[in-house]
């Protein structure tokens, strides 16, 4: 699933692959939906990305949803009509009866202002839902990071704050988005280009993006805005994080991050989510 023109162009050059999602065999008891005549593409559909907003950081979102059995086609058409050329729909065998909504790369500010948020509300009203088996995955352009050191700081911040990130994400999934001690210890290698296993909290197997896989899916616009907000804010927070901040100001710690957010109203949806009772400790 945030710079002058030259920087944005560089980001576009390096982020040529569209997001990918988890795919496993659906249970034998689940009938595959009929997609004839619907705008749902096959899982391997990967059009050339179209960038929205100003870089260097671009986010590509994948929102997995379930549809009613008698409203698959109408739900897909509803979503496609809202999306226009911002994104597309894909089959994913990990979803029992539904599809994933995939966006082209967007800057965070552009997404907040222009994503068709009413689409999510309308899909919910049409009977669509999310389950324990559905998630939101956000692809972050590698070109949005200043250096491997920045990438390492970002990864370490997320790994060190697993408890808070999991609470914010609304789920803990060993199957689809595992936090492991190995990944935490391998963060330096991942920051330099090593590939992780796919079904990890941070999937580093894509050449142009890092995939943040931790979030539960949702048709609540405020919750999806918070997901994009965390993806963007965590990168920006760690962009300028220095050793002095870490040693003297507890820079790795969650309260330091939320204090930073307090000074940045662009991330209000994220702050609201963090301060909600479900996310409070």
Are 86 and 104 spatial neighbours (Cβ–Cβ below 8 Å)? yes
What's the pLDDT at 3? 36
What's the pLDDT at 245? 86
What's the pLDDT at 174? 85
Any idea what the Cα angle at residue 59 is, between residues 261 and 271, rounded to 5°?
20
Q: Which residues of the chain have pLDDT under 70?
A: 1-37, 277-281
Are 126 and 72 spatial neighbours (Cβ–Cβ below 8 Å)? no
Are 234 and 159 spatial neighbours (Cβ–Cβ below 8 Å)? no
The DSSP annotation for 103-152 comes to EPPB-HHHHHHHS-HHHHHHHHHTT-B--TT-EEEEEEEGGGSSSHHHHH
What's the pLDDT at 280? 57
- Count CB-CB contacts under 10 A for residue 128: 22
Angle between helices 148-160 and 221-239 (to 10 degrees): 130
| CATH numbers and ranges of domains, the chain | 5-279 (3.30.590)
What's the pLDDT at 24? 32
The phi and psi torsions of 140 (rounded to 5 degrees) equal: -110, 130
What's the pLDDT at 246? 86
- Count CB-CB contacts under 10 A for residue 12: 18
Residue 71 gets which letter from DSSP?
-
- Residue 228, CA distances (Å) to 24, 30, 61, 88, 208 in order: 25, 31, 8, 18, 18
Q: Is 100 exposed, middle or buried (0-12, 13-18, 19+ CB in 10 A)?
A: buried
Work out the end-to-end distance of the chain between its first and last CA atoms, rounded to an integer number of angstroms: 28
Are 183 and 201 spatial neighbours (Cβ–Cβ below 8 Å)? yes
What is the three-class DSSP state of 62? Answer: strand
What is the three-class DSSP state of 63? Answer: strand
Residue 281 gets which letter from DSSP?
-
pTM of the model: 0.85
Are 21 and 62 spatial neighbours (Cβ–Cβ below 8 Å)? yes
Nearest Cα neighbor of 82 from 115, 54, 119 is 119
Half-sphere exposure of 101 (CA within 13 A, CB side): 29
């Amino acid at each position: 699933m945030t710079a002058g023109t030259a920087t944005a162009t560089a980001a576009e050059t390096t982020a040529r692959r569209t997001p990918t999602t988890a795919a496993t065999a659906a249970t034998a008891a689940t009938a595959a939906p009929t997609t004839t005549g619907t705008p749902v593409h096959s899982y391997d559909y990967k059009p050339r990305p179209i960038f929205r907003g100003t870089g260097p950081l671009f986010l590509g979102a994948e929102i997995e949803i379930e549809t009613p059995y008698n409203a698959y086609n109408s739900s897909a058409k509803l979503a496609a009509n809202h999306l226009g050329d911002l994104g597309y729909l894909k089959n994913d065998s990990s979803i029992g009866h539904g599809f994933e909504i995939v966006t082209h790369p967007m800057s965070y500010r552009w997404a907040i202002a222009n994503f068709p948020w009413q689409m999510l509300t309308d899909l919910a009203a049409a009977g669509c839902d999310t389950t324990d088996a559905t998630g939101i995955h956000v692809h972050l352009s590698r070109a949005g990071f200043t250096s491997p050191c920045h990438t390492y700081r970002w990864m370490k911040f997320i790994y060190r704050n697993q408890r808070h990130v999991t609470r914010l994400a609304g789920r803990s999934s060993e199957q689809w988005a595992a936090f492991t001690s190995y990944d935490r210890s391998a963060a330096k290698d991942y920051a330099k280009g090593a590939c992780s296993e796919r079904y990890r909290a941070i999937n580093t197997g894509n050449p142009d993006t890092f995939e943040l896989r931790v979030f539960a899916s949702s048709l609540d616009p405020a919750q999806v805005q918070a997901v994009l907000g965390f993806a963007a804010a965590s990168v920006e927070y760690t962009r300028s994080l220095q050793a002095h901040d870490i040693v003297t100001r507890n820079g790795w710690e969650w309260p330091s991050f939320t204090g930073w957010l307090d000074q940045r109203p662009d991330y209000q949806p994220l702050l609201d989510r963090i301060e909600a009772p479900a996310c409070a400790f």
